[in-house]
Structure 1
């Protein structure tokens, strides 16, 4: 049974745009929670007064529930990123549904009643996941720019990729989990004030496709 319908019902369309149009951009972070990197990122976002989306890996949520509580306490938005970061592209709907429900349950065990408005498919391999997620009250969340921070190419290179790759209305994919993400966090700390000085707004993604 699906969660009660929201005022603006999710659609099976994958959202990849930021709210507000024009020079707006949304920062999203995958594969956490991952202390100490997630905690340091939260400090950076708080310092710059930026709200982001955290796409949570269910098993990591079970390992670090206190970090999920900090994410929510700081006012950020949650996204279901699957329980074990499996490629769900070829899975039948019922298997997808079971995984998403398990992930949501893990998040809500850490933060009872947590709002989880988005789902992002691991590896961006969607298959039937957008429709299943919509039925469970979550909008599929894609991206327009992935900076390849899993390569850990150095902070300066990540800053370059952000500065040159961001386009109006882009959702940006970065990572706070899955390895040492200190370069990503340093790049975010550098890029936010630079973007703002050029008139960019940092906003959340669009609500619906």
Structure 2
């Protein structure tokens, strides 16, 4: 079955970047960056709910503050949260102190929307990691990378996104997509079409690995 119950995640993340699922085999992990973003995030939640799929949402702090009600819906639907920085800055050259301040501010914004929210992952904007995996691990978050990015930041059309997903997904891959940062309706449409196709071929959706 595509989709799974939300598990209790292990503690003690380590300063490496994970890019695979915890299940292995014919599993794939869907992750969505740069939200929350109405209306696309809300429609994506509807699609995931309809297909009984859980995903990881990598939240941009500025957007969290604008749309806390959507963060509450993400959590109510039992998806997994990921800290994606406060302002989506490139952190590659930042000091550990600067990174820590940003990650703490972002997590605080998320928990202002959802008190006590569990945030097990961090993803660096642009994949510019620098010292962020170590700082994130110290704050209890595993650095979350990806094995496949579908390139939806410049929407090429729903059919092309479907093709990229169908041809690019490999066993155990974490896939990077976007629900924010622009019009992501094509991404939502592609996800809606791809899930039943994957299910028919024996794939299931898994969360990313907790540790490297």
Corresponding residue for residue 161 of structure 1: 164
1:192 corresponds to which residue?
195
2:91 maps to 88
**Matching residue within 194, 199, 202 for 2:205:** 202
Distance 1:184 1:150 in 2: 9
CA distance in 1, matches of 2:29, 2:121: 13
Please name the residue that 2:119 is paired with: 116
Tell me the alpha carbon deviations over residues 137-188 of structure 1, each in whole angstroms, 9 at most, x when there is no partner: 0000000000000110000000000000000000000000000000000000
- Picking from 3, 25, 30, the partner of 1:22 is 25
Does 1:44 pair with 2:47? Answer: yes
Distance 1:123 1:150 in 2: 11
What's the Cα RMSD here? Answer: 0.8
CA distance in structure 2 between the aligned counterparts of 1:90 and 1:194, rounded to whole angstroms = 42
* Counterpart position of 1:65: 68
| Partner Cα distance (1:119, 1:8) in 2 | 14
Structure 2 unaligned spans of 5+? 1-8
TM-score (norm: length of structure 1): 0.97
Secondary structure at the counterpart of residue 162 of structure 1: helix
Distance in 2 between residues matched to 1:125 and 1:160, nearest whole Å: 27
Q: Secondary structure at the match of 2:100?
A: helix
Shift of 1:7: 5.0
2:109 equivalent to 1:106: yes
Partner Cα separation in structure 2 for residue 139 and residue 131 of structure 1? 9
Distance in 2 between the 1:19 and 1:75 partners?
18
Instruction: Give TM-score scaled by structure 2 length.
Output: 0.95
1:35 is matched with which residue: 34, 38, 60?
Answer: 38
Match of 2:175 among 169, 172, 180: 172
CA distance in structure 2 between the partners assigned to 1:125 and 1:150 by the alignment: 17
Divergent runs of 4+, >2 A: none
Whole-Å separation in 2 of the counterparts to 1:205 and 1:56: 16
Aligned to 2:144: 141
